[in-house]
Amino acid sequence: MAKSKREAVDKTTEQKIKEAAQQVFTQKGYAATRTRDIAEAAGINLALLNYYFRSKEKLFEIIMMEKLARFFGTVAPLFDDPSTTLDQKISAVAEGYIDMLLQSPDLPLFVLSEIRANPERFLSKIPLAKVLESDFFRQLKTIRPDLHPVHFMMNIVSLSVFPFIMKPVLESAGIVTPKTFETIARERKKLIPQWISAMLKP
Amino acid sequence: MAKSKREAVDKTTEQKIKEAAQQVFTQKGYAATRTRDIAEAAGINLALLNYYFRSKEKLFEIIMMEKLARFFGTVAPLFDDPSTTLDQKISAVAEGYIDMLLQSPDLPLFVLSEIRANPERFLSKIPLAKVLESDFFRQLKTIRPDLHPVHFMMNIVSLSVFPFIMKPVLESAGIVTPKTFETIARERKKLIPQWISAMLKP
DNA sequence: GTCTATAACCTGATAGAC
DNA sequence: GTCTATCAGGTTATAGAC
């Protein structure tokens, strides 16, 4: 009883470590992260990290799986929803990505970098090839049979995600402030569907 | 004489190290790279690396500066060319990026990751804020005064560059083969200007 | 469960022979 | 210029006290 009360208010140590690990891993990447940094960020001792998660590697595996699920899993189902029109899918994907990335701006650079460092290891977990037979591809082929559907999938994801990859550059260079970046990102939720729609007209 | 003859045929040791360093750094990033890996890839000894370039840090600095120049320097001047129309600028940027990235597909992920790890250090070298007063922005403001010009700059760069960032994912997942990726990338040199043109119509 | 102290290992860099 | 051998420092992981 006393214990469950504590858990409801404070975070468990395991939870504190996981949250610190997320933060440090996504910001610096696996190789540049030291377990000491995570321990310090979690406000605990280094030994405790190995007590809960046997190794840096194991801890990373857990974080990475969650991040992969978040990055791919949030929008992947939208592509294969048979109850939506093409326009609805496009809006749903753009909004889904932008809303998510406004909360986790450095998710894409982290996930894509770590995949690149170890493609076979992580991609085997996620059945991405499904998009080839998705409702989305089927709809694209009927409306624009002259172009490979991958073009438009790339376009939607590019326009939604890449601004967040450029964010550190744009802000450090003084081209946008964090405030205007956020405004622009929000505007794009409505703009991207309009733009894609214009692209789809032959 | 004998020496200059050798240099014309074989590569100098310094050159071999630099090429190996480029390859390993861009593939694994600074933190995950071991100087031993570079030495091995160059076919030389670890001590020799420190003989030519005092440290891993110094060697990385050299490589990074070249990559920054390549990634930003190739297209940045095109944005501020007063002799070209807006449509010409768009075509030049898309073609410039895609042609470059077909040769160096992992340049973007490398450059953007390392900038993120150390924004102030690298961005201070490159005067990106110039784009705010560029001919490109000026032209955009006259044609679409209702939208921030950064939207369209993001769009052109996103559509050109992001496919190369997704390349490892798309290929490992079996969505495209390396061959079809290249075909698609080439097609985009003509498609992107058409798409941007369609976007710009109010 | 949590800590301090330390072991075991790895990596960048140098010394010194050739 | 190039190598082998080694040092110095830092990092992960564990042993053992509390």
Looking at residue B46, its pLDDT comes to 98
Structure tokens, A157: 């994801």
Are B116 and B148 contained in the same domain?
A: yes
- From A119's Cα to the closest Cα of chain B, the distance in A is 7
Whether residue B70 is predicted with pLDDT greater than 80 in this model: the reply is: yes
Neighbours of B172 (CB within 10 A): 17
> What was the pLDDT predicted at A10?
80
pLDDT at A1: 38
Task: State which of B10, B37, B54 marks the end of a domain.
Answer: B54
Q: Does residue A125 share a domain with residue A70?
A: yes
User: Which nucleotides along chain C are within 7 A of a protein C-beta?
Assistant: 1-5, 10-16
On whether both A32 and A77 belong to a single domain, the answer is: no
**CATH number of the CATH domain containing A36:** 1.10.10.60
Nearest to B116 among A120, A148, A168 (CB): A168
Q: What is the pLDDT of residue A3?
A: 44
Using a CB-CB cut-off of 8 Å, the residues of chain A touching B120 are 172
Residue-range definition of the domain harbouring residue A105: 61-200
Using the structure, give the distance in angstroms from the CA atom of A48 to the C1' atom of D15, rounded to a whole number.
Answer: 13
Total domains present in chain B: 2
Are residues B72 and B22 part of one domain? no
- Do A10 and A73 lie in one domain? The reply is no
Letter for the amino acid at B95?
E
pLDDT of residue B202: 82
Query: What is d(CA A6, CA A199) in angstroms, rounded to the nearest whole number?
Result: 55
- Please provide the average confidence, as pLDDT, over all residues in chain B: 95
CB contact under 8 A, A113 and B109: yes
User: Average pLDDT for residues B190-201, to the nearest whole number?
Assistant: 98
pLDDT computed for residue B150 by the predictor: 98
Give the Cβ contact number of residue B51 at 10 Å. Answer: 13
pLDDT digits (tens, 9 = 90+) for B153-174: 999 999 999 999 999 999 999 9
For A185, which residue in chain B has the nearest alpha carbon? B151
Residues A20 and A118 in one domain: no
Looking across all nucleic acid strands, the nucleotide with the smallest C1' to CA distance from residue A53 is D13
Judgement on whether residues B24 and B70 belong to the same structural domain of the protein = no
The DSSP element (H or E) to which A75 belongs, if any, is: none
Are B16 and B90 in the same domain? no
Distance B121 CA to C3 C1' (A): 38
pLDDT value, residue B6: 47
Taking the C-alpha atoms of residue A82 and residue B17, their distance in angstroms, rounded to an integer, is 54
Question: pLDDT tens across B11-63, in order?
Answer: 999 999 999 999 999 999 999 999 999 999 999 999 999 999 999 999 999 99
- Is residue B33 classed as helix, strand or coil in its secondary structure? coil
| Reported pTM | 0.95
CA distances from A36 to A113, B87, B145 (A): 22, 52, 50
Same domain, A69 and A161: yes
Question: What percent of chain B shows pLDDT beyond 70?
Answer: 96
The CA–C1' separation of B53 and D1, in angstroms, is 14
- Residue of B28, B129, B162 lying closest to A175 (CB–CB): B129
Which of the listed residues B54, B82, B99 is the one where a domain comes to its end?
B54
Whole-number Å distance between alpha carbons of A142 and A59: 45
Consecutive 10-residue runs of chain A (202 residues): their mean pLDDT? 51 97 98 98 98 98 98 96 98 98 98 94 91 97 98 98 98 97 98 98 88
- On whether both B130 and B195 belong to a single domain, the answer is yes
Q: Are residues B80 and B171 in the same domain?
A: yes
Residue B46: Cβ-neighbour burial (10 angstroms; 0-12, 13-18, 19+): middle
Say whether both B65 and B50 belong to one domain: no
Asked whether the beta carbons of residue A176 and residue B29 sit closer than 8 angstroms, the reply is no
Chosen domain end from B54, B76, B94: B54
| CATH code assigned at A112 | 1.10.357
